């Protein structure tokens, strides 16, 4: 698919601004649909987990709607993005696994959600390229009682 790997620089399908995909829609706080190489793909943000807001088998979790809304603010429909993979290309549900960067300003969306208090850490080795950054960001957000850390007494 021409997506840059963790240590790689395969940008054969990237545009001049570095993007290799475009946001089609936000599914929830940690999953989007993006157009990649002309194909719509579900993309799961690596390293973080936001509270559930759309799983029909589970109730909406504390701060789920807020996390989904924040992701929509960070990644409006049509936003050019750069998807960067880690060790595994897909999860067990077939979703592309990626670190997402906004092409316009290089904002690291996965990290931004952690820093702003909208996500908890979720690490599945071997996808660990940014684990230390996520750990530090979530620790700080928790200490400062940002986002879900202020609103959800059961957050872990």
CATH number of the domain to which 69 belongs: 2.40.50.90
Q: What is the pLDDT along the chain (156 residues), one digit of tens a residue?
A: 445 443 333 334 677 778 999 999 999 999 999 999 999 999 999 999 999 888 778 877 888 899 999 999 999 999 999 999 999 999 999 999 999 999 999 999 999 999 999 999 999 999 999 999 999 999 999 999 999 999 998 786
Helix (H, G, I), strand (E, B) or coil at 47: strand
Kindly state whether residue 50 falls inside one of the protein's structural domains.
yes
Q: Catalogue the active-site residues.
A: 44, 52, 95
Kindly state whether residue 54 falls inside one of the protein's structural domains.
yes
Kindly state whether residue 91 falls inside one of the protein's structural domains.
yes
Q: What is the pTM of this model?
A: 0.88
Rounded to 10 degrees, what is the CA torsion of 60, 61, 63, 68?
Answer: -50
Kindly state whether residue 47 falls inside one of the protein's structural domains.
yes
Range of the domain at 81: 21-146
Kindly state whether residue 154 falls inside one of the protein's structural domains.
no
Residue 134 sits at φ, ψ, to 5 deg, of: -65, -40
Domains identified in the chain, total number: 1
Kindly state whether residue 4 falls inside one of the protein's structural domains.
no
């Amino acid at each position: 698919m021409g997506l840059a790997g963790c240590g790689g620089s395969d940008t054969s399908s990237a545009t001049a601004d570095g993007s290799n995909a475009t946001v089609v829609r936000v599914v929830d706080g940690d999953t989007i649909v993006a157009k990649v190489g002309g194909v719509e793909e579900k993309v799961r943000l690596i390293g973080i987990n936001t509270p559930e807001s759309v799983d029909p088998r589970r109730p909406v979790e504390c701060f789920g709607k807020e996390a989904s809304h924040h992701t929509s603010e960070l990644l409006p429909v049509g936003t050019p993005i750069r998807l960067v993979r880690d060790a595994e290309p897909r999860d067990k549900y077939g979703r592309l696994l990626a670190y997402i960067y906004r092409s316009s300003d290089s904002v690291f969306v996965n990290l931004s959600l952690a820093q702003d208090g909208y996500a908890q850490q979720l690490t599945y080795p071997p996808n660990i390229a940014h684990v230390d950054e996520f750990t530090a960001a979530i620790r700080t957000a928790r200490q400062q009682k940002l986002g879900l850390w202020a609103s959800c007494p059961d957050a872990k």
